Structure 1
Amino acid sequence: MNAPPSPPPVKTTCPYCGVGCGVLARPDGFGGAQVKGDPDHPANFGRLCSKGSALGETLSLDGRLLHPMMRNGEGELVRAAWDDALDRVANGFTETVARHGPESVAFYASGQLLTEDYYVANKLMKGFIGSGNIDTNSRLCMASSVAGHRRAFGSDTVPGCYEDLDEADLLVLVGSNAAWCHPILHQRMAKNRRERGARMVVIDPRATPTSDEADLLLQIAPGMDSVLFCGLFAYLADKGALDRAFLRDHTAGYAEGLARARHIAPDIDAVAERCEVPREQIETFFSWFAETDRAVTLYSQGVNQSAQGTDKVNAIINCHLATGRIGKPGTGPFSLTGQPNAMGGREVGGLANQLAAHMDFEPESIARMRRFWNAPNVAERPGLKAVELFEAVAQGRIKALWIMATNPVVSLPRADAVQSALRQLDLLVVSDVVSGTDTMMASPHVVLPAAGWGEKDGTVTNSERRISRQRAFLPQAGEAKPDWWIVSEVAKRMGFADAFDYASPADIFREHAALTGFENDGTRDLDASGLAALSDDDYARCDPVQWPIVKAGTDGGKRLFASGGFFTADRRARFVAVADPKLAATPGRLLPLLLNTGRVRDQWHTMTRTGKSPRLGAHIGEPYVAIHPKDAETYDIAHGGFARISTLHGSAVLRAEVSEAQRRGEIFAPIHWSAATASDARIGALVQRSYDPVSGQPEMKATQATIAPVRYAIHGFLLSRKPVDLPAGVWWARAAVEGGVGYRIAADRIGAHWADIAKRFLPEHDELVEFLDEAQGRYRAARVLDGSLDACLFLAKSADALPGWGWLKQQLAEPKLSESARRALLAGRAPEGGVDHGPLVCACFGVGRNQICGAVASGSAASVEEIGATLKAGTNCGSCLPEVRRLVAEAKERVPAE
């Protein structure tokens, strides 16, 4: 008999960054899926980054939260029925509001929620509980951009589209490592540069893979972005590079904005001095911008995550308004959003200082919400923003908190204080997909299992205002439910059943779309009312579309504001006179260094999803701190050794990476590792509480810090098919590997003999084959069961005495060991004729360093393009291309001349 035809792939959207890539997902019949890019989606045209390409590897049920749970009288979380859990949540919030008032409760949501989820959560809190206290982890990534848009445009409007990246002649990236964090868009820009000759400028305190491909890098001093763009504004005015007609007809506040810019940055020399960048580099950038009509300025967390983030955004926008470079092809300021639905959350009021449909807390908007929702108790003032909200928890002002789809015990500033505060709550509710987050360790009273990506249905809005469908292609795991359903059921139990009687996400979307057009008449930017009458079938089939959409069947247009029409009272954009910048860390400086935080290429947020993928954990498999060589010398830090970073708020021990990419006086550490994935690497615990006074977005890029070496007596790694409980006092970092799990480890010597130490890592000691070299301080052990490698442990006095673990990881993945591989296990390297791919370079296709270098050495490839043709490395998302380019150059230098 012929096998039944496989079902067609489901068109959905990637759940990672705000690029909003289309995905084709086909269930594999074993709980996972085959995933590839959707060639018809206008955000990515079939390309996916390394994270998106590995989505199929992250769908397993290990670590999933599958059932509701409640804390019993003994303080234990035990399985509960949905009705009991929902009743406890509803009764807890109702009683807290009755006793302490609506300001005593709060929701903390996430850019991982779908628009429909966000809508019902905001409606419940602001519309029916009557408090503004719903905020989101999107506050940590794009709130300053929102505030800057609203000050300049009168609305939170992204004016451009992705096609502008193809059509620009100058691409300016500010505080954005797009090559790693938004690689699909970065490849569009790189293609423009390669094929059309567009120039690329990168402005960043660090040299990054993005700057590797730039025509100009301005390695700017931390926090000085406003100085740079104030200087550019004044330069444009002095050179007459202005659009006088646009200024006259569509803007206000030009004179005041320019006067402040001249005060902050009177000339190029002053800009160069304050930014700590050579004068000639400043002049080159200014002249390129002045002479290039088609210029796009893209900015991300390096701008937004700052105590002056909103001013930085407005300093950038001022330059585009002055030249009329907005809303036209190849022009505009462009915010690269961090999360998949940060913009969707903004649209439905997920930020504490906004109402739904991009409305503010103004009397007429509050009255409009009352009429539309038939809700007499609509909140009348903004709620607490993220940092303030958790401080209110610590102060006892917030008594009941519901955390949805986020992990604030890792991601928020002063994360240890956040963890302590959560334990004080009368009621802590956590709804999530996974069970083992650090936030789950903070003693929640009720835990609710939410449907995950691939199981839930709804919409998201990407960075270019494009609404796309996220569709289910897997059954909901265990008893998991969609977030909109969970919130609606709680609302019904609180007495608001009529307002939350939704049968599907389509019902919610229609209501949201109708609200955007309610009493709008062109006075608000967000209008998707053309979608308010979608049938269920239309909703199911809905193609990606950009708002505003005021009429069914039409696309709202790619760009806004080319001919003015801003959403201020007089329809004119506003120049903003920004403040003279000063780092929050500067006054009374106590510690010598500044800690900058950010992301790595193949991981996402706190790794609850990407941490499941072996190939995503292979590129950078452990937490690290990057430091300039001169600072490393000053503080006695060795490359590859360990260092303790300390701030006024906490400390962490990380592997040291000595790198010229760092500026002196600054260190960098990634944000991803948690208590679940490393012993001592929660970087959020080190970050200061300072935040932007306008946006409320915390300063994540410049915390006072110091650094000191940490020296361990033992270094090593452990590979095992099953997770291992490591002994106390051991430094460790965990990564998924094919066939099991891998641990990098370090410790002080425990016990008098190597064998005693080994027993602490692998208790089933009798089954081991061992090697011990006391003189050299090396111990190695392996356990083979039924012909397969079950575990291996390598320890040494020095990390330099350890082999790489790449070949051993390959053996762990094999169902059976070859005889030669078995004999070579304790050597830790491939036997004669064996293959060792080396450390991973290209996560999309699993290409290792040894493969690339070997291809060059053998003559089968002599360029990046030939590596792509031979090995496929760099031919998907391109985020590995800077590293491939460097390896090819280094390998060619080693090839002897004929």
Structure 2
Amino acid sequence: MSDPIGTMPTVRTTCPYCGVGCGILATPDGAGGATVAGDPGHPSNVGRLCSKGAALGETLGLATRLLHPVVDGARTSWSTALDAVATRLTDVIARHGRESVAFYLSGQLLTEDYYVANKLAKGFIGTPHVDTNSRLCMASSVAGHRRSFGADVVPGSYEDLEQADLVVLVGSNAAWCHPVLFQRIAAARRSRGTRVIAIDPRRTATAEEADAHLAVAPGQDTVLFAHLLTQIADSAVLDRAFVAAHTTGFDETLARAREIAPSLAATAARTGLAESEVRDFVRAWCATERVVTVWSQGVNQSAQGTDKVTSIVACHLATGRIGRPGMGPLSFTGQPNAMGGREVGGLANMLAAHMGFSAVEVDRVRRFWTAPAMVTGEGLKAVDLFDAVADGRIRALWVMGTNPAVSLPRADAVRDALGRLDLLVVSDNVASNDTLSAGIGAAGIHIRLPAAAWGEKDGTVTNSERRISRQRPFLRLAGEAKPDWWILSRVAERLGHGVAFAWTSPAAIFREHAALSGFENDGARAFDISGLDDLDDAGYDALAPVQWPVRRGTRDGTARLFGDGGFVTADRRARFVPAAAPGLASAASPRFPLRLNTGRVRDQWHTMTRTGLSPRLGAHRPEPFVEVHPDDIARCGLRDGGFARAETAHGSAVLRVVATEIVRPGEIFAPIHWTAETSSYGRVGPLVQGATDPHSGQPEAKATPATLVPVPMRLAGFALSTAPLALPVGLWWARIAVAGGFAWTLAGDGPLAALVAAATALFPGCDRAELRDPARDVFRLAAFDDGRLAGALFVGPAAQVPRWETLAPLLGGPVASAARLSLLSGRAPDGSADCGPVVCACHSVGREAILAAIAAGADDASAIGAAVKAGTNCGSCIPELKRLLAEVPRVAA
């Protein structure tokens, strides 16, 4: 790219986080950074951004980037690295066969990257083993859509959330995980009285904001919706004409639903709900024609995820409430381009353009690609794929834009398996993560390829409502980084397939992708963007957000599907699908009496390679933790604020204990984000069981049998540094980004003297000020470089350590000699007060500032926002503001 891109004007692009697909206005600053704002012209977010999107500017930079190709630990040229990939792939195939090669992709890839990877693997290398981390978040929705509709189609639009009279959120903490969409729902509540019901075992921020919360027992969503179907069938709300004209399988599915939920009493008993809660839910759903049922990971990440999806869809089919304004089933996608990846065959059980593996479809794709080694059957899905890595069936693996050593179930086993490969290729934009570290353990097999990052990428993504948007570059490619499609194409060329991969731009790839979607498509395939296959480069660059299908001869999209039937099965009828009797993949036992639920926190994303760089995002929930009901705190001998070892049959982690009634007794929750690079013992992926849904292959991440064991921590503290630190071995720590450097929260149970001795190696060459009080277990050290605070280490009794937030703003700044003793006291030299833990990440507003606003008379969330701006951007902190409002009498007392 030419130099002027560094000073180019504001660019319209798309957010790289969740599947909402928010439009972004990015304005480069000419120095490698940019300011970021929501795009008011983008229909998905109309100018709004969540805390993560608003902080994107803080995540730009080169500090953590992989900037050059690396082969076997040595920096090399692109030509040498690409030769090495091609030569070693050829060698593995010659020795072990085509299916010994696998690709593991990511919803972070652009559609064009995904397309090239699938074409290379499934058409030219000849391996079906191409899967993606979207298997971990959306596969059950895909399977449910395909079983019910005949294709992976989301029927509705985000507009339906605003036009609905009832929105039911199932297993979706949208207030935290999809806050822009939740704010659209909240706006509908205010403007037109839309009711909201949250169905979730946890009382999440979403549940707190809902009109009703149904704390359904883990895995029992199918029972609730089976009961709803029986009540629909026994009432006038059943749309017999729609069922007769446009569906099949209703009687069989209804009979199974009556077996699963034979009565109101049985439904209440199995779901853990009161009979009145079930009755009120059924009445609300049946009495409201304009109802949208939303689901996300709480439904998908289940060993019965596909049945949950088809049970929800069945209720909409039975009432004909689908494909019309304000009604229908709607899945909220986890990753930014999970749907785009599905469009091009990014899952092991799909071919490009939403085709499957029938003989006709395989032949169609073969002919379109002129593919010499076209695969004819499905490949291994993610969990099975990494089992095949472990047992030697997969000998070469190319990982692109994801971190499976953290995110997959049984992550320790995955990390170990990576070290057994003959060849591991990792294309990523980060120089270090757990997956890269795992590969380094196997000598001579590790190839790292620097890929373009957000801000440099050029292509398209598709969001949860089928809307294709452009992701445009606004920064130069950093170092020697290259787009993923370019890397794959150059390897294909070296493998002898240059003619089929001779694209010179992502626009050319998009045109081929669009043409394949319309190839021999007589309307039997819903995914069709052939109306865009003749876009020239300028038209592609200017492409406005559009919802597929976009049929040939038009540039207009399609907001809703199936309102008048027209499903994409052979007979054009939707399928009612009988569900299996619901249960849990693994039973609790005396050894593992609890159920571990995993998920996200408000301000972090996946394994924190991007959000972990933002100081304001790290300040809200800075440590790996486990939520535990007070009853279980007492039963397990734990202490609120203390530590526990969470153990399952697969692994363990040491986590900060949070006592809360958000979770039900017998259930615990831990977030997924921390890695070996951001915490010493906080990786949760190793704990998660490997059980998968039989239809989707998606792993169960919401109900792993577990136990909690107290972990004593006599000492606690924090460290600050302008540069990375090698902390003493044996400490529990969690790393947090702060302005100018890093912070670590610390805990340990060893003797203070050993810690003090180990600390002598920290901050070499710096002036030091120390406070030692062995009798009280207190040690404090501040290091200065040319009069500036280079770092600090504060350790003391667990309940008496000052907050790291007080000193973090001083890091890297000048500290007068006379102020050093004040600093060692844990107070800012200027006497400024600690604002407390961050509550509003969008505006970096701390708890103390909010309490002060409440004390000054702010009596609701709007008044707090007017006083200190908290809650005025994405709104995801509003439930916490309301909790603080309720706490004021206790605080005052």
TM-score computed with the length of structure 2 as normaliser: 0.97
The Cα shift of 1:170 comes to 0.6
- 3-state DSSP class of the match of 1:96? helix
* Contact 1:749 1:757 (C-alpha < 8 Å) held by counterparts: no
Once residues 894 and 522 of structure 1 are traced to their aligned partners in structure 2, the CA distance between those partners, rounded to angstroms, is: 63
Shift of 1:552: 4.9
Query: Residue 820 of structure 1: CA displacement?
Result: 8.4
Whether 1:187 aligns to 2:183 is yes
Of residues 818, 821, 824 in structure 1, which corresponds to 2:822?
824
Structure 2 distance, partners of 1:894, 1:384, is: 55
SS at match of 1:157: coil
Q: Which residue pairs with 2:109 in the alignment?
A: 113
SS of equivalent residue, structure 1 residue 533: coil
Distance 1:504 1:187 in 2: 37
Whichever residue aligns with residue 874 of structure 1, its letter is G
Structure-2 change in CA distance of 1:285 and 1:709 (3 Å):
same
**Partner letter of residue 715 of structure 2?**
I
Residue 7 of structure 1 and its aligned partner are, at CA, apart by: 3.9
Q: Which residue of 2 aligns with 1:64?
A: 65
Match of 2:630 in 1: 629
Mapped pair 1:889 → 2:886 = yes
- What do residues 844-866 of structure 1 show as CA deviations (whole Å, max 9, x unaligned)? 1111111111112133x332112
Letter aligned with residue 302 of structure 1: G
1:389 has 2:388 as partner:
no
Q: Which position in structure 1 is the counterpart of 2:747? A: 746
**Residue 483 of structure 1 corresponds to which residue in structure 2?**
484
Structure 2 counterpart of 1:854, which letter? A
* Corresponding residue for residue 866 of structure 2: 869
CA 1:867–1:259: 2 relative to 1, 3 Å: same
Shift in Å at residue 492 of structure 1? 0.7
Report the 3-state secondary structure (helix = DSSP H, G, I; strand = E; otherwise coil) of the residue aligned with 2:737: strand
Distance verdict in 2 for CA 1:85–1:246, change over 3 Å: same
Is the contact between residue 107 and residue 133 of structure 2 (CA under 8 Å) also seen in structure 1? yes
> C-alpha distance in 1, partners of 2:811/2:705?
42
**Change in 2 beyond 3 A, CA 1:699/1:516:** same
8 Å contact from structure 2 (residues 715, 795) kept in 1: yes
Instruction: Find out whether 1:846 has 2:844 as its counterpart.
Output: yes
Does the aligned pair in 2 maintain the 1:96–1:400 contact within 8 Å?
yes
5+ long unaligned stretches in structure 2: none
Pick one of 94, 118, 121 that aligns with 1:122: 118
Gaps of at least 5 residues in structure 1 are 72-76
Alpha-carbon distance change, 801 to 192 in structure 1, aligned in 2, over 3 angstroms: same
CA shift for structure 1 position 783: 2.3
TM-score, normalised with respect to structure 1: 0.96
- The alignment covers a number of residue pairs equal to 884
**Aligned-pair distance for 1:240?**
2.6
1:636-651 matches, cutoff 5 A: 636-651=637-652
Report what 2:810 is aligned to: 811
Secondary structure, counterpart of 1:496 in structure 2: helix
Q: Cα deviations across residues 530-589 of structure 1 (Å, max 9, x unaligned)?
A: 000000000011110010001455322210000000001110100000000110012877
Deviations 1:358-400 (A, max 9, x none): 0010011111111111114211000110011111111111111
Equivalent-residue separation in structure 2 for 1:162 and 1:304 (angstroms): 20
Question: Equivalent residues in 2 for 1:328-339 (5 A)?
Answer: 328-339=324-335
Residue identity opposite 1:837 in structure 2: C
Question: Is residue 96–residue 104 contact of structure 1 (8 Å, CA) maintained in 2?
Answer: yes
Aligned match of 2:346: 350
Compared CA separation, residues 551 and 211, structure 1 to 2 (3 A): same
- Give the SS at the match of 1:625: strand
Instruction: Evaluate the alpha carbon distance shift between residue 161 and residue 819 of structure 1 in structure 2; reply closer, same or farther with a 3 A threshold.
Output: farther
Residue 615 of structure 1 aligns to a residue in which SS? helix
Q: CA deviation at 1:608?
A: 0.5
The answer for the alignment partner of 1:97 in structure 2 is 93
Partner Cα distance (2:654, 2:671) in 1 = 12
Looking at structure 1, the residues matched to 261 and 8 of structure 2 have their Cα atoms a distance apart, in angstroms, of 61
Paired with 2:47 and 2:554, the residues of 1 have a C-alpha distance of 24
CA 1:6–1:427: 2 relative to 1, 3 Å: closer
Preserved contact between residue 720 and residue 791 of structure 2 (Cα < 8 Å)? yes
Q: Against the structure 1 CA distance between its residues 876 and 552, is the aligned structure 2 distance closer, same or farther, given a 3 Å change threshold? A: farther
Q: Give the whole-Å Cα distance in 1 for the aligned partners of 2:155 and 2:754.
A: 67
Residue 782 of structure 2 corresponds to which residue in structure 1?
A: 782
Q: Tell me, yes or no, if the aligned pair for 2:155 and 2:323 is still in contact at 8 Å.
A: yes
Q: What is the percent sequence identity of the aligned residues?
A: 60
Report the counterpart of residue 685 of structure 2 in structure 1. Answer: 684
- Counterpart secondary structure, 2:720: strand
Q: Superposition RMSD on alpha carbons, in Å?
A: 1.8
Q: Does 1:248 align with 2:244?
A: yes
Q: 1:210 aligns with which of 206, 211, 214?
A: 206
Matched ranges for 1:294-333 at <5 A = 294-333=290-329
SS, match of residue 357 in structure 1: helix
1:509-528 C-alpha deviation (Å, 9 max, x unpaired): 00000000000011100000
Preserved contact between residue 148 and residue 314 of structure 1 (Cα < 8 Å): yes
820-829 vs 622-631, which moves further: 820-829
Task: Spell out, residue by residue over 1:23-54, the C-alpha distance to the aligned partner (whole angstroms, 9 max, x if none).
Answer: 01111122111111111000001111111111
Asked if the contact 1:36–1:46 (Cα under 8 Å) also holds between the matched residues in 2, the reply is yes
Is the partner of 2:811 in helix, strand or coil?
Answer: helix
Instruction: Report the counterpart of residue 153 of structure 2 in structure 1.
Output: 157
CA distance in 2, matches of 1:719, 1:552: 61
192-201 or 782-791, which deviates more: 782-791
Matched-pair contact (CA < 8 Å) for 2:6–2:31: no
Post-superposition offset of 1:787: 3.7
- The alignment status of 1:423 with 2:419, answered yes or no, reads yes
Cα shift readout 1:407-459 (whole Å, capped 9, x = no counterpart): 00000011111111111111111110101110001225211110100011000
Q: What is the identity, as a one-letter code, of the residue corresponding to 2:822?
A: A
- In structure 1, C-alpha distance between the alignment counterparts of 2:7 and 2:427, rounded to whole Å: 34
Is the Cα–Cα contact under 8 Å of residues 751 and 757 in structure 1 kept in the other structure? no
Name the SS for the 1:19 alignment partner. Answer: coil
Contact 1:223 1:306 in 2 (8 A): yes
- Asked if the contact 2:588–2:705 (Cα under 8 Å) also holds between the matched residues in 1, the reply is no
Mapped contact 1:118–1:348 kept (Cα < 8 A): yes
DSSP 3-state at the match of 1:479: coil
SS for the counterpart of 2:324 is coil
Find the counterpart in structure 2 of residue 507 from structure 1.
Answer: 508
Deviations 1:129-148 (A, max 9, x none): 22211000000000000000
Does 2:574 align with 1:560? no
1:858 partnered with 2:856: yes
1:658-737 to 2 correspondences below 5 Å = 658-737=659-738
Q: 1:74 corresponds to which residue?
A: none
How far off its partner does 1:758 sit?
4.0
> Partners in 1 of 2:696 and 2:574 — Cα distance?
19
1:176 CA drift (Å): 0.7
Aligned residue in 2 for 1:532? 533
CA contact 1:126–1:132 (8 Å) conserved in 2? yes
Distance 2:718 2:185 in 1: 40
Deviation digits for residues 695-722 of structure 1, max 9, x if unmatched?
0000111111111000023211111111
| 2:217 counterpart of 1:226 | no
Structure 1 residue 137 and structure 2 residue 133: aligned? yes
Cα distance, 1:728 vs structure 2 = 1.1
Which position in structure 1 is the counterpart of 2:171?
A: 175
Are the counterparts in 1 of residues 752 and 777 from structure 2 also a CA contact under 8 Å?
Answer: no
Per-residue deviation, 1:607: 0.4
**Distance (Å, rounded) in 2 between the aligned partners of 1:105 and 1:528:** 31
2 CA distance for matches of 1:773 and 1:53?
44
Distance 2:765 2:780 in 1: 12
What is the alpha-carbon distance in structure 1 between the residues aligned to residue 188 and residue 156 of structure 2?
17
Secondary structure of the structure 1 residue equivalent to 2:776: coil
User: Could you tell me which of 375, 380, 405 is aligned with 1:379?
Assistant: 375
Contact 1:852 1:888 in 2 (8 A): no
Q: Which moved more, 1:823-832 or 1:313-322?
A: 823-832
Mapped to 2, the partners of 1:356 and 1:417 lie a distance apart of: 31
Corresponding residue for residue 274 of structure 2: 278
